[in-house]
Amino acid sequence: MNDVVLLGDEALALGCLHAGLSCGFGYPGTPSTEIMEYLIDVYEKSVFDTQNPFVAQWCSNEKTAYESALGASFAGKRAIVTMKHVGLNVAGDPFMNSAMVKINGGLIVAVADDPSMHSSQGEQDSRFMADFAQIPCFEPTSQQEAYEMAFEAFETSEKFHTPVMMRLVTRLSHSRAPIHPIDESKIVPRNALKKADRSDWMLLPALARRRYDTILDRQGDLLKWSETSSRNILKMTNRRDLAIITSGLGRNYYNENLADYEAVCKTEGKELPSFLHIATMPFPKALIQKLADQSSTILVIEEGQPLIEKRLLGLFASNTKIIGKLSGHLNQSGELNPDIVRKALGLCAHETARSNLGEMAEFCMNLPGRPPQLCQGCPHGDSYAALNIAVENLIKKGGKDNVAVNADIGCYSLGARPPYNAIESIVCMGASLGMARGASQAGIKYTFGVIGDSTFLHSGITNLVDCVSTNTPVTAVILDNSIVAMTGCQTTMLPSSQLEPLVKGIGIDQKHIRVLATTPKNHEANAKVLEEEAEYRGPSVVIMVRECLEAFRLRTKKKKIAEAKASCNKKD
């Protein structure tokens, strides 16, 4: 096959396709979204084969996506489930329990972490979750490795009957590089349909205890596999004062400084330190021990939280010192980069490069930062304008401490910024309605839970059920822009027309389900409705409807393309 330039996410997706993938499921979350977008693009262009199908679909949330992938594995098919790091929290229940069953068709759990929180509310490191579940984890350092590791991950999953995590990070997921695919004749055919043994998939206590013993028993085999993996690279030298351990992108940043570091070592009459790159978990203990036996200090360079460094502290004799993030040699928060690693290696900082563009360069360098903001004309701006009017009037009635506006994860989170300053909390997907309910139960008279249409379907419904069950005075404000806007305009799981019957079915009184057109001319009228529903002493829902402008542009563009194709076909 010819080389192709792909994002890290896309390289993993292509690797999975070439490794015999049958089913892909996920929920969009930056930086993981492009894995499923690539697979869905292939799915939509493919002819459905009833005998040996390939399927790729978005799901309501990460938990439902994970459980769909488990069903495919149960049927004997190779499957992938995709999400970002905080999405793994949502999928935590099936994730942990999937380690307990006997995986049938290979299962890859692709999780993209976001160091520096470019588009996330936390930096959590998914390797801790893989370690917690006692499953293998692959960590590619390049797009080519992401492609190649898909084959190994499926093979490992089926060999050890376990889920396998593939851990990516933003810089790898969202950067492009040439990929060299395997020869077309070597593409792995999809597994035939073959259901798993029912006794290996029913986690009743007696059977679960037997399955947990199996997990413990296979740890020794997984360790041997990891220690003999060609992905874990050990290079020994005679130097004894220092050794280097890298993982993930840490290896790239070390290698970028290697020529300068080698030159400094030569001037000091030293060899380069012994080096170990760890690409798989469980951690290869024998390789680490070999490194530690001849090194007084080990510098750990890992992207994310200091998992390896923590594991090594206290494991060796007191004369082996472990340094890295916890010791302050590397930054503990945010991403690594070559300059940070350069400093940890004791190298002089690079002189800051200055572009030779004269006055224009000076002007560009002094441009102020541009904070994120809602798109010009975004319907959420009009929704917040109405909400602010309502809140201001309610504060006049009951005081500031008697009004709470809890919001959620989505582009409407930007309502926290000027000029809106409209919301008071952003915690996690679906939390807005639960927090509004809790605030109401705690005594705040007027509580709003602001949530997007997709986030409501993701994990807001259950909190609204709680409000109905306890007849709690909460006003759910569903911002319905008909699309999953924040992650690239994926289709919402249910169309706008289904939201009203859905909330009615949950038990919201029809008189307190209000559907409003979100336009500038409706600010005052919409504010009045919000006030009325806040006064109601039970749960109410206000659905504020207007299509996302970006979604409208994309829909219009697709329509024009379709019309052009139809016109060409008609001429032919």
C-alpha pair distances (Å), 88 with each of 3, 29, 62, 79: 32, 11, 7, 16
Would you state the structure tokens that stand for residue 535, as one six-digit string?
Answer: 């006064």
pLDDT, tens digit (0-9, with 9 covering 90-100), for 206-258: 999 999 999 999 999 999 999 999 999 999 999 999 999 999 999 999 999 99
Beta bridge partners of 26: 58, 82
Tell me the per-residue pLDDT of 13-42, one tens digit each, with 9 for 90 and over.
999 999 999 999 999 999 999 999 999 999
Residue recorded with tokens 């600010």: 523
Name the one residue in this structure whose structure tokens are 């529903």: 533
Domains of the chain, earliest start first: 4-227 (3.40.50.970), 233-344 (3.40.50.920), 379-552 (3.40.50.970)
In the chain, % of residues over pLDDT 90 = 77
The mean-pLDDT minimum among 75-89, 128-142, 548-562 falls in 548-562
- Ordered DSSP codes for 361-415: HHHHHTPPP----PPTT-HHHHHHHHHHHHHHHHHHHH-GGGEEEEE-SSGGGGG
Instruction: Measure the CA–CA gap between 88 and 133, rounded to whole angstroms.
Output: 12
Three-state DSSP class for residue 186? helix
Confidence at residue 357, expressed as pLDDT on a 0 to 100 scale: 45
Per-residue pLDDT tens digits for 256-277: 999 999 999 999 999 999 999 9
Residues facing 366 on adjacent strands: none
Contact in structure between 453 and 484 (CB atoms under 8 Å): no
pLDDT tens string 140-198: 999 999 999 999 999 999 999 999 999 999 999 999 999 999 999 999 999 999 999 99
Mean pLDDT of the chain, nearest integer: 91
Taking each helix axis as running N to C, give the angle between helix 143-160 and helix 8-18, from 0 to 180 degrees, rounded to the nearest 10. Answer: 40
What's the pLDDT score for residue 353? 43
Which element (helix H / strand E) includes 298? strand 297-302
Q: What angle separates helix 461-470 from helix 431-441, to the nearest 10 degrees?
A: 20
More confident residue, 301 or 409: 301
Q: How many CB atoms lie within 10 A of CB 139?
A: 31
Which of 306-315, 367-376, 430-439, 502-511 bottoms out in mean pLDDT, i.e. has the lowest? 367-376
Q: Calculate mean pLDDT across residues 36-49.
A: 90
Give dist(CA 89, CA 62) in Å, integer: 9
Closest CA to 161 of 105, 210, 118, 93: 105
Q: pLDDT tier at 369 (50, 70, 90 boundaries)?
A: low
Minimum mean pLDDT range among 95-99, 429-433, 443-447: 429-433
- Determine the pLDDT at residue 565: 75
Distances (CA, A) of 219 to 11, 139, 162, 229, 405: 29, 19, 11, 15, 48
Q: Which of 466, 380, 460 is nearest to 423 (CA)?
A: 380
Q: Which residues contact 343 (CB under 8 A, 6 or more apart)?
A: 349
What is the structure's pLDDT at 364?
A: 52
The answer to whether residue 46 scores a pLDDT higher than 80 is: yes
Helix (H) or strand (E) holding 501: helix 499-506
Q: What average pLDDT score do residues 70-78 get? A: 95
* Structure token digits, residue 192: 């035939």
